[in-house]
Structure formats: C-alpha cells, structure tokens
Amino acid sequence: MAAIVTDTVARAMIDGMKKLNGTASRAALAVSAVFAFGIGFTPAFAADKPQNSKVAGAPLKAAKASLDAKKYQDAINKLKDIQGLSGKNAYDEHLVNEMLSYAYVKTNNLADAAKVIEGDLDSQFVTPPEKQKRIRQLIQIHYTLKNYDKVLTLGDRAVKENFADDEILTWMGQAYFLKGDYKNASKFIDSQVQAQIKAGKKPKEQLLNLVQNACIKTDDSACLQKVYERLVTYYPKPQYWQNLMTAMYRQQETSGPNDMAQLQVYRLASAVNVLTKPKDYTEYAQLALDAGSPGEAQAALEKGFANKIFVEQRDVARNQRLLDAAKKAASAGQAALPKADADAQASKTGDKDVSVGIAYLGFQQFDKAAAAIERGLGKPGVSNTADAQLLLGIAQLGAGKKDEARKSFRAVKGNPTLERLANLWTLHASA
C-alpha cells in the first residue's frame, strides 16, 4: 500500500527548531530591553528610604554618571572598586549589584549579569514583585546562555511561588526539549496544553509543535496521534492534516492489511486535500472500484489528473487505463442503480441497502446515499455496522447536514480505527 503523504522526522525537527531559535533570539533582545529600562539607580537620602554609607555615596554617583554616559566598562571598573571598600553597608552592595547587572547586560556579558542578579535576588531591598521580575529575567538569560538546568530550577521556583505564567512555562518546556530530556519535555508541555484547554483557552501552536517534536524524538506514536489531532482541531492547516493522515496510515499498516479501513483513510485524506502521490490515487481508485463505488474511483482519478499528480509516462498510462475502466463501470452502475435500490428496499437484511448507499455516495448523490445506508442500518444483517455508520456520517456531511453527521460519527463503535476516523471526520466537519 502507498503512503498518503511524506512527513519526515527531519522536516518536522527543522521546522520546530526554527521556531525555537527565533524564540531564543527574541529572548536575548527582551532581556536587554528589560534591563535597559527596568533598572535604574538613584542614591537614597530620604529618611524613609534605605541610606547609602558615606564612604560609598560619592563613588556610587560617579559610577551612575558613567552609566548615563554609556561608558559601561568604566562603570564596571568603578563598581568593582566600590566592592572593595571597607565601611560600606548592605544597601551599597544592593545598588552596586543593580548597576553592575545593568552594565554587564549592556556589554553583552550575560553570564556575569546572571551571577550578580542571583547573588542579589534575596536581598532585603528587593521587593516580592521585583523578585518575580528578576527571576523572569534570569530565566531568559539562562535560556539564552543554554543553561537549561538553571532555567528549570528557576522555573520550578516560579511555579512554587505561584507566578509562573504561560511564558515562563514555555521557557521550561523548551529547556527540557533542548537539553535532550524529551520524555519530560513531552510530559511537561502536554500538561500546559491540557491546562489551557481546561481553562477554555486555545492552546498555543508553538507548545503543540514542541510536544510533536518531543513525541518524534521518543518515537511515541500514541503521543503523536494525540498531538496531531489537537493541531488539526485548533490549527487545521494542510500540513497538520498531512501529518495526522500519515500517522493514521502507518497505524493501519502495522495493524495488518484491511482494505475497508484503508479505503476510509483515503476518503478522509481526499476530503482534507492531502493526497499527494500517484500511488495514493491509484490505490484509492482501485479500492473504491473493488468496494462497488465506481463513481468514487472515477472522481479520484479525475482529481489526480486535474492536479497533475501523474507525471511519469507509466503512471499516466496506468491511471488512464484505470480511469477508463472506472468510467465504464460508473456508467453501467448508474444505469443499474434504480433496480438495485428497489431490490435493496425489498430485502429483509441491510447489506444491500448499504451497498446501494456506497454507490450513491460515489456518485455524490449524498441524500440518496444517506437514505439507503440509514435504511440498511435499520435492518438486521449488516456485516460491518461501524463502517456503515461512518459512511452514513460522510453522506450526511456531503448533504450539508452537519449536526446529523456529527451524531452518526459519534455512533461509530466497535472498531478502533474507524472510531478514530469518525472523530477526525467530526473535526473536519467543524473546520
């Protein structure tokens, strides 16, 4: 059997890492901007504020003047001199740390900036809101420096102190991923996705892509299936449908040959426009012919030719022969349908009605298809009720009866592959 689409791990990882690299670059800019405008210095002399020591007051003012003049290295030198002064107090140290961290960031020395901020983080002069702000800054700095364990440690602190927002949680998920802990990356990020969904929010596309890449790294097919379904639920882009249908095909392939289920996979792939390879169209058409749906086979091949899918001469010739056979069968089938329909209605069992419904579905006579299949399901003797129920939903959807189609899709039971396909048809119906 032919794969529906090709979605290589390499392509998925390249796309994911492009997003991560872009985020890292923005992080560095954000850190610089926050420090540039968020850290200032004004020596305090008012009675209700902490006081500088006399020994450090003038040197601090001189260091501040160098900062204002953008002489950052000069400011760093002066601040280091102040660190060596005897007689300075705790507030002096705090101000030195604030100005040093600012100067280090401006000279792109993020490693030393992080050390200074961390050393001053629990200072008595840092208010709780300011501490939260600095932890956020440190997370960004350590992410930029690829110190992912530090990102996670600081992130855990933010979680415990109840100020970890979506941005901080995203940094943590990316840190797990980039340090190579893909299992925990998937677990952690998926928990954030679930929390967003539970809160009635649309989960962020970047988070879903991170989960996808972590699932690929751990070769977790169940995880991939779930994240692909979420991606098409919230971001129904063709590339995500391609990924999802590829996963469905591979799952079908590992479970053993099943022409009926494979035909249903092709039907959905065609409906969401992700059939891209010549062999997909050929096999789809052949399976449809074998299932008694020549109109569907003809439509599939005509779509393939219209989309210029068949390029090599042998593919053109082979599929033209198949199209000619489908047209001949479709012409004969249409002529025979009225009698077949009458015979099916007179039958005490439902399989003939379902077969007639499949033929009508192939000719895109959706109302007649739905009526025949529903009639068949109301009788005993339908050999595959799950498949018939799925076909009923497809016919109802084609007829524009979305609510009835969703109800029919929910009624598909007894076959895990068909149940999953029914869920996907429901997503497609809602798109």
Query: For each of the chain's 431 residues, which pLDDT tens digit applies?
Result: 333 222 332 233 334 334 444 444 444 444 444 444 333 344 443 445 788 899 999 999 999 999 999 999 999 999 999 999 999 999 999 999 999 999 999 999 999 999 999 999 999 999 999 999 999 999 999 999 999 999 999 999 999 999 998 889 989 999 999 999 999 999 999 998 998 899 999 998 988 998 999 999 998 888 888 999 999 999 999 999 999 988 887 776 666 667 888 999 999 999 999 998 899 999 999 999 999 999 999 999 999 999 999 999 999 999 999 999 999 999 999 999 999 999 999 999 999 999 999 999 999 999 999 999 999 999 999 999 999 999 999 999 999 999 999 999 999 999 988 999 999 999 999 87
Q: What is the pLDDT of residue 11?
A: 36
CATH number of 257-430: 1.25.40
Residues 6+ apart with CB under 8 A from 224: 212, 215, 216, 243, 247
DSSP states along 388-417 = HHHHHHHHHHHTT-HHHHHHHHHT--S-HH
Task: Please state the domain extents for the chain.
Answer: 39-126, 257-430
pTM exceeds cut of 0.85 = no
Report the C-alpha gap between 153 and 187 in whole angstroms: 17
Cβ proximity of 167 and 145 under 8 Å: no
Evaluated on CA atoms 339, 344, 348, 351, the torsion sign reads positive
Residue 384 three-state SS: coil
* pLDDT value, residue 7: 33
How many whole angstroms separate alpha carbon 299 and alpha carbon 196? 42
- Asked if 216 and 9 count as a contact pair (C-beta separation under 8 A), the reply is yes
What pLDDT score was predicted for residue 41?
A: 42
DSSP state of 307: T
| Domain 39-126, architecture per CATH | Alpha Horseshoe (1.25)
121-145 residues labelled b (16+ CB within 10 A) or e (exposed)? bebebbeeeebbbbbbbbbbbbbbe
Helix (H), strand (E), coil (C) string for 346-360: HCCCCHHHHHHHHHH
